[in-house]
A and B are shown apart, each in its own frame.
Chain A
Amino acid sequence: MPNHPKWKLLVVLFSCVICISGCVERKQLEKLGLSTAVGYDLEKENQIRGTVVVHKFDPLAKNLTKVITVEANTSKTLRQKQNLETDQKLVTGQLRCIIYSKELAERGIIQLADALNRDPTIGNTVYLTVTDKKASSILKMEKENLKVDLGTYLYNLIKQNVESEQLLSPTLHEFNHAYNDHGKDPVLPILKIKKGNVVLSGMALFRDDRAVAELKGDKLFYLKILSDKFNSGTHEMGFNRSRFKRIIRNEQGHGFRSVYNKFFINIDNIHSNTKIKLVDKKNLRFKVDINLESRLLEATEILNLSNSTNIRYIEKIVNKEMEREIKSLLIYFQEKLVDPVGFGNEYIAHSRGKMLSKKGWRDKYKDAKFEVHVNNTIVKTGVSD
């Protein structure tokens, strides 16, 4: 080797690289237990019970997952205690789903959510959920019929429904966003056990970080329409049969079906566009304009749809019905003092001067008035008239 300064420098650099890369903490996959789902219950005053589903990478193990339950005061102590009960180091980089029990959610969950925010190893796209029972009972469920571990199952369950637009996305980021916005409140999905399976049953409405109300089934459709651009989702509406008498195709020999004593119609949304406008700042009047393009996919009577006036007639009735239902939903939100749609953000965006505080908006929100206009166009009726 020639005695050249560049050589010396190279040797120094290489030895640095080798020495220093060995100094960093190593993480071998076989020695890690990846927690994929975490559940929190309120154990008693000042104590929470944490349950974690751990995914193992051990080809010899019969069960790929392990469930550990411990009690502590903070979520990080929970993790430490959980670590004492497993042979693998618990890491949270693959955390997919977090479940809060209803009790806990009613008391407030921001301290737990904040711990998640603070931890750089936890992603922003973790799903937060609420359950009506104990979180541990969901995580401890019999998992023989599950091919994947529960965390991944829950993740897929929610993701699938978010992607098919049945559900508002409940990621940690969205929760933070809504919680920290002065004019918006978070919503999280509710998990339920149904015949040994975990299913989604509705949405929990939050006032700040406390769950105060529940939104069920078909109301989700409206919440989704109100808060998002929306490209799918079906909605069913029931009417008195007499209102549709005019356009029901009354063919000889068929007559009325007596399966239902009401008339049901199913609207499949293709495209929606919602505009929320503050029309009167002083009296706090909001105008909600909803434009829908939809398909009529199912009706419990055979309708005569070849006629454009008939379709126009259905549109009119459906519009009215939707307006009524959306209005009652908004009033329900107002009664519960929750603002999941984000009317407050719209108001703040139009008011100059000092920014309205969260409480300030809540005081104003009580007196807000809403005008709802739905413009539903039935663009298609399936493959038949």
Chain B
Amino acid sequence: MNVNLHPKESLLFNAFLLMFIIHSVQSGVGIVGLPRIIFLDAKHDAWIAVFLAGVLTSVILWSMIMMLKQYDSADLYGIHVDVFGKWLGNFLSIVYMVYLTACFFVIILNYVEIVQVWIFPNLPTWQLVLVLILLAVYAVYGGIRVMVGVSFLSVTGTLWLLLVIFVPLRYTDFTHIFPIMNVDIYHMIKGIKSTTLSIMGFEILMFVYPFVKEKRRALLYVQIGNLFTTLTFTLVTFISVLFFAEDSLSKVIWPVISMLKIVRLPNLERFEFIAVSFWMLVILPNMCFYLWAASKGFSRIIKRTQKMGIWIIASLAFVASFFIKARYQMNLVTDMIAKVGFYAAFCYPVILTIIVYLKKWLSRRKQSHAEPS
């Protein structure tokens, strides 16, 4: 297998689109429940924890770019083979593929659950799962450029939802955020860790990198995308803390949607219906990129077509959706993915970067040793 991936010129996209990709992949189904999850750990300082998690993410993105820059145009699958050799490298790649597939699955299921609770209580899970999976498959069939388009549309098409979040500000109580920094370091770190499920998704960068046209400028746009995500998440958490009382924020499962319930338009009593429906646009790029990155492994590792991979992963996710029925099972799976995600998206890239640098350093030393003799 080639370490470097050289896609056709026509498949490349401009670096500034990375901004939209990173933001759209990060903000998915997690943000709906984010304020509560962080609040459980970091209490009313949750918004600080979210902000710090964003800062941490930006550091990890920087290390990812540093790692990718060591190669000409490689993705994670290629780097694995280069660093760990054929067998161990491919094994790690397959593990990562499983993780990506699981993410794809969890995103869909979480969204379906929201739809079931808020709009259609009687809707069978498999119907909506099927529709969403087919939609994602259709987008991935279109190729990377179509998916970039999807993420661009997703960001611009749902930007207005950010304005709606200001409506609940009228019902807030500013005493809630004081005293600032009341929580101890341990709980703050726990809060930062809990943010992972919502803020992850940026690991996709390691797969789309070969398709970026101006690779030198990737870092800048990636950071802008992440900055935007961080600010959005912090704002949403901040307003949630102000809006809900201490005891209710720890109880509501989807604080953001509960908060939007207060929005009332003259001839639309229930705004959350619109919000939940629009959320599909928010999660669509997530599904697409995870499905794409996972299926990419089929063509990179096993030397099969990516199309076959898409269908295998799609049908796996579809079948698995039959096994998840109750909310507590859902929680279990989501928590597990969040935990794995913390290691796969936050820790692993940094470790890999260190290994890549070590390897480069060693080989350079070997060369310089070899030359004189």
Tell me the complex Cα distance, A349–B175, Å.
6
- Whether B262 lies near A124 (C-beta < 8 A) is yes
| Chain B interface helix/strand/loop/mixed | helix
Interface residues as binary, A174-191 with B (CB distance below 8 Å gives 1, 0 otherwise): 101111111110000000
Q: A20-B127, A25-B122, A349-B179 known; A177 and B264 CB under 8 Å?
A: no
Q: Which of B217-262 contact A (CB under 8 A)?
A: 244-248, 258, 261-262
- Whether B173 lies near A23 (C-beta < 8 A) is no
- Whether B175 lies near A342 (C-beta < 8 A) is yes
Give the contacting residue for A352; candidates B120, B131, B182, B264; CB below 8 A.
Answer: B182
Chain B residues contacting A353 (CB-CB under 8 Å) are: 182
Q: Which of B300-339 contact A (CB under 8 A)?
A: none
Segment from A8-16, A61-69, A245-253 that makes contact with B: A8-16
Q: Does A2 contact B (CB under 8 A)?
A: no
Chain B residues contacting A180 (CB-CB under 8 Å) are: 244-248
A10 to chain B: closest residue by CB:
B138
Chain A residues contacting B246 (CB-CB under 8 Å) are: 180-182, 355
> B180: shortest Cβ distance to chain A, in Å?
10
- Whether B269 lies near A24 (C-beta < 8 A) is no
Q: Which of B115-131 contact A (CB under 8 A)?
A: 117-118, 120, 122-124, 127-128, 130-131
Tell me the complex Cα distance, A355–B248, Å.
15
Q: Does B160 contact A (CB under 8 A)?
A: no
Q: Does B145 contact A (CB under 8 A)?
A: no
Q: Does B178 contact A (CB under 8 A)?
A: yes
- Whether B134 lies near A176 (C-beta < 8 A) is no
- Whether B179 lies near A355 (C-beta < 8 A) is no
Interface residues as binary, A20-60 with B (CB distance below 8 Å gives 1, 0 otherwise): 10011100000000000000000000000000000000000
Q: Which of A275-326 contact B (CB under 8 A)?
A: none
Q: Does A231 contact B (CB under 8 A)?
A: no
- Whether B179 lies near A173 (C-beta < 8 A) is no
- Whether B173 lies near A345 (C-beta < 8 A) is yes
Q: Does B270 contact A (CB under 8 A)?
A: yes
A345 to chain B: closest residue by CB:
B175
- Whether B261 lies near A342 (C-beta < 8 A) is no
Give the contacting residue for B244; candidates A93, A177, A349, A350; CB below 8 A.
Answer: A177
- Whether B120 lies near A24 (C-beta < 8 A) is yes
Tell me the complex Cα distance, A13–B247, Å.
45
- Whether A12 lies near B134 (C-beta < 8 A) is yes
Tell me the complex Cα distance, A75–B105, Å.
37
- Whether A124 lies near B134 (C-beta < 8 A) is no
Q: A16-B131, A23-B124, A25-B120 known; A181 and B270 CB under 8 Å?
A: no
Tell me the complex Cα distance, A176–B175, Å.
16
A-B contact pairs, 6 of them (CB 8 A): A9-B141, A124-B262, A182-B246, A184-B245, A342-B175, A349-B175
Which A residues lie at the B interface, using CB under 8 A?
9, 12-13, 16, 20, 23-25, 93-94, 120, 123-125, 173-174, 176-184, 342, 345-346, 348-353, 355
Nearest 6 CB-CB pairs, A to B? A180-B245, A349-B178, A180-B247, A181-B245, A124-B261, A180-B248
